[in-house]
Amino acid sequence: MERLLVGLQPKRVLKHFESLTRIPRESGNEREVSDFLVKFAKDLGLEVIQEECLNVIINKPATKGYENGPRVILQGHMDIVCVKREGLEFDFTKDPIPIVLDGDMIRTEGTTLGADNGIALAMTMAILESKELDHPPLTGFFTVSEETGMDGVINLNPSNISGDILINIDSEEEGSALSSCAGGVNNIVHLPIQWKEVKGDKEAYKLSIKGLLGGHSGMEIDKNRGNAIKLLGRLLDGIDRNMDIEAAHISGGEKMNAIPKMADVIIVTDKSKEGTLRGLIEEYQSIFSNEFETSDPHIKLYIDRTEKPKKVFSEKTKKSLIKILRLLPNGVQTMSANIEGLVESSNNLGVLLTEENEVVFNSAVRSSVKTLKDEINNRIQIICDSQDAVMKLVGDYPEWEYKANSPIRDLMVNVYRDMYGEELQIDAIHAGLECGLLKEKVGDIDMISIGPNIYDVHTPDEHLSISSTDRVFKFLCEVLKSIK
């Protein structure tokens, strides 16, 4: 297959990044990329450990004169969020990501790019194979299933890794170094379904909401983008209040940590009510278009006749479904009083599924304050108690608290100023990073997170700046040269 990134800088980084776009890396399907990294290390003659969970740890000795320096861990995750444009025929289990060049940007043809977090792997690989760069002892640490609950860090054997400094390369904004992040948990609500048979001369319709921008549920949660699942709940509630309907199947979203771009439901009603139903769809189209004129200008409601189902939700199940959809917290819950502009706590209802005997609501709860994370979960539990639903928490990970004394942060500030004549901004982020869990596993070592400009992460519009990647890579190399 022809390589598109040949000749672009940073040469080695982009070479590895393009290779990674050809390897399946969806969360839970990391065997091939894990083996790829192991082979990479062995070909270089470097010490490598592949854990049972498929984490990969590669150790490289210090260069001459740096033998007594602190060990630096360069860390990123192998897995990517696999989202594609609706209607695109693409199989993330086998198809290479279709990258394209657009000026300074690397884009795709309708899929996520995987720069989150493939760029961390590519930068670290370029450093591990370099024979010119001066550096202290290094460890490349690549985790699995970060996007679905940080399972790689959770299953890390601490005896396999040690270090004094950890540089996480999972940030998405050049010129900003992160020193704190939110903790989170996957909140899953299970609503049991009572079924009943469809009776009478009725017609079935599929109602859909599409065209929303979606986005990363940490990075874009404050941008007032519509949540297709929540809006579908509002639409369904409005219709149910105005006419007699039954519901048979409902679904929406793709990943719990991505803002849902689409959702749909199958409803059944008397044939004579089609005009009323279409009128309500038009009314809510006008309402949603007005409310999201700026943040989601392409929102569109659809109604299509569909095959009539043999069974539908009971009235009790339908009412409980609507109430849960309407009441589940979503979006920003609190803003930080300490850091201007920082979202403090939020919830994203990311996936809605109808299974054989239950409807499942899958949310990503985030907060930089543990008690506020607990508060959101407690509110959801109250909703569940009122509707005979069951709540389960999966993949709970801690927040990464700001540390007043950080030599690596001070060093980066000085190096950045010397290189670019600008101040490196020190920030906190509402997205989850692996640093909080890593502190529990490898100890309270000095940590920081950096990365190049990556845009529209977790969407089919994800794209990566080439020039930013070059600058951040040079900065990282200079930082390593300065650590003795």
Determine the Cα–Cα distance for residues 86 and 88; give it in Å rounded to an integer: 6
Q: How confident is the model at residue 148 (pLDDT cuts 50, 70, 90)?
A: confident
- Give the type of residue at 349: L
Query: What pLDDT is stored for residue 379 in this prediction?
Result: 98
Residues 221-239: what's their mean pLDDT? 97
Residues 68 and 211 in one domain: no
Residues 171 and 199 in one domain: no
Asked if the structure places residue 5 within a domain, the reply is no
Residues 161 and 103 in one domain: yes
SS (H, E, C) the chain: CCCCCCCCCCHHHHHHHHHHCCCCCECCCCHHHHHHHHHHHHHCCCEEEECCCCCEEEEECCCCCCCCCCCEEEEEECCECCCECCCCCCCCCCCCCCEEEECCEEEECCECCCHHHHHHHHHHHHHHHCCCCCCCCEEEEEECCCCCCCHHHHCCCHHHCCCCEEEECCCCCCCEEEEEECEEEEEEEEEECCEEECCCCEEEEEEEEECCCCEECCCCCCCCCCCHHHHHHHHHHHHHHHCCCEEEEEEECCCCCEECCCEEEEEEEEHHHHHHHHHHHHHHHHHHHHHCCCCCCCCEEEEEEECCCCEEECHHHHHHHHHHHHHCCCEEEEECCCCCCCEEEEEEEEEEEECCCEEEEEEEEEECCHHHHHHHHHHHHHHHHHCCCEEEEEEEECCECCCCCCHHHHHHHHHHHHHHCCCCEEEEECCCCCHHHHHHHHCCCEEEECCCCEECCCCCCCEEEHHHHHHHHHHHHHHHHCCC
Residues 143 and 87 in one domain: yes
Residues 262 and 148 in one domain: no
For 281, residues 6+ apart whose C-beta sits below 8 A from its C-beta are: 207, 235, 301, 303
Asked if the structure places residue 443 within a domain, the reply is yes
- Other residues' Cβ atoms within 10 Å of the Cβ of residue 65: 10
Asked if the structure places residue 300 within a domain, the reply is yes
Q: Which two tokens stand for residue 134?
A: 């001066």
Residues 182-211: what's their mean pLDDT? 95
Look up the pTM and report it: 0.75
* Residues 101-117 pLDDT 10s: 999 999 999 999 999 99
Residues 162 and 204 in one domain: no
Residues 285 and 275 in one domain: yes
Residues 333-337: what's their mean pLDDT? 93
Residues 71 and 175 in one domain: yes
Asked if the structure places residue 126 within a domain, the reply is yes
Q: Please state, for a pLDDT cut of 90, what percent of the chain lies above it.
A: 89
Asked if the structure places residue 6 within a domain, the reply is no
Residues 310 and 195 in one domain: yes
Residue 429 has pLDDT above 90, yes or no: no
Looking at 397, 425, 441, the residue that finishes a domain is 397
Query: What pLDDT is stored for residue 395 in this prediction?
Result: 84
Phi-psi region at 114: left, alpha or beta (left = phi > 0; alpha = psi -120 to 50):
left
**CATH code where residue 344 lies:** 3.30.70.360
Looking at 334, 369, 397, the residue that finishes a domain is 397
* Residues 42-61 pLDDT 10s: 999 999 999 999 999 999 99
Query: What pLDDT is stored for residue 467 in this prediction?
Result: 98
Residues 422 and 338 in one domain: no
Asked if the structure places residue 232 within a domain, the reply is yes
Determine the Cα–Cα distance for residues 348 and 483; give it in Å rounded to an integer: 40
- Other residues' Cβ atoms within 10 Å of the Cβ of residue 427: 18
* Residues 252-300 pLDDT 10s: 999 888 999 999 999 999 999 999 999 999 999 999 999 999 999 999 9
* Residues 336-393 pLDDT 10s: 987 888 999 999 999 999 999 999 999 999 999 999 999 999 999 999 999 999 999 9
Asked if the structure places residue 319 within a domain, the reply is yes
How far is the CA of 424 from the CAs of 342, 434, 457, in angstroms?
18, 22, 23
Asked if the structure places residue 3 within a domain, the reply is no
* Residues 436-475 pLDDT 10s: 999 989 999 999 999 999 999 988 999 999 999 999 999 9
Q: Which domain holds residue 351?
A: 186-397
**CATH code where residue 63 lies:** 3.40.630.10
Instruction: Report the catalytic residues.
Output: 79, 146
Query: What pLDDT is stored for residue 1 in this prediction?
Result: 66
Query: What pLDDT is stored for residue 86 in this prediction?
Result: 85
Residues 169 and 194 in one domain: no
Strand partners, 203: 269
What does pLDDT average to over the chain? 96
Q: Is the dihedral of CA 41, 42, 48, 50 positive or negative?
A: positive
Residues 374 and 416 in one domain: no
Q: How many domains does the chain have?
A: 2
Residues 79-84: what's their mean pLDDT? 95
Looking at 372, 397, 422, the residue that finishes a domain is 397
